[in-house]
Structure 1
Amino acid sequence: MAQTKSGLAHFELTSWQALPVMPIYMEQLLQLVNQTLAPLGITAVTKTMVNSYVKQHFFSRPVGRQYTRNQIVAVIVVTILKQDFDLTTISRAILKIRDSRAIEPRYQQFKVAFERALRLQSLQLTPADATAQAIELAAQTVGAHLLTQQRLS
Structure 2
Amino acid sequence: MATPALATYHLMAWDELPDVPVYMEQLLELVNDALAPLGSTVTKTMVNSYVKQHFFSRPTGRRYTRNHVVAVLVVSILKLDFSLPVISQAILQIRDSRQIEPRYEQFRQAFEQALREHPLTIATNDPLTHAIQLAAQTVAAHLLTNQVLTDLAQA
* Length-normalised TM-score, structure 1: 0.93
One-letter amino acid matched to 2:84: L
Q: Which ranges of structure 1 fall in alignment gaps of 5 or more residues?
A: none
Mapped partners of 2:122, 2:38: distance in 1: 18
Residue in 1 that maps onto 2:145: 148
- C-alpha distance after superposition, 1:79-132 (max 9, x if no partner): 000000000000000000000000000000000000000001299785621110
Mapped partners of 1:111, 1:57: distance in 2: 22
- Closer, same or farther: CA 125–25 of 1 in aligned 2, 3 Å: farther
Mapped partners of 2:143, 2:119: distance in 1: 22
Mapped partners of 1:95, 1:12: distance in 2: 25
- Closer, same or farther: CA 123–115 of 1 in aligned 2, 3 Å: farther
Residue in 1 that maps onto 2:105: 108
Kept after mapping to 2: 8 A contact 1:92/1:152: yes
One-letter amino acid matched to 2:99: A
Mapped partners of 1:107, 1:29: distance in 2: 17
Mapped partners of 1:121, 1:91: distance in 2: 26
Kept after mapping to 2: 8 A contact 1:25/1:66: yes
- Closer, same or farther: CA 124–10 of 1 in aligned 2, 3 Å: farther
Large movers: runs of 4+ above 4 Å: 122-127
Kept after mapping to 2: 8 A contact 1:6/1:122: no
Mapped partners of 1:87, 1:149: distance in 2: 12
Q: Which ranges of structure 2 fall in alignment gaps of 5 or more residues?
A: 151-155
The CA RMSD over aligned residues, in Å, is: 1.6
Q: 1:121 aligns to what SS in structure 2?
A: coil
Pairs within 5 Å for 1:19-58: 19-42=17-40, 44-58=41-55
Mapped partners of 1:119, 1:125: distance in 2: 16
Residue in 2 that maps onto 1:130: 127
Identity in percent: 64
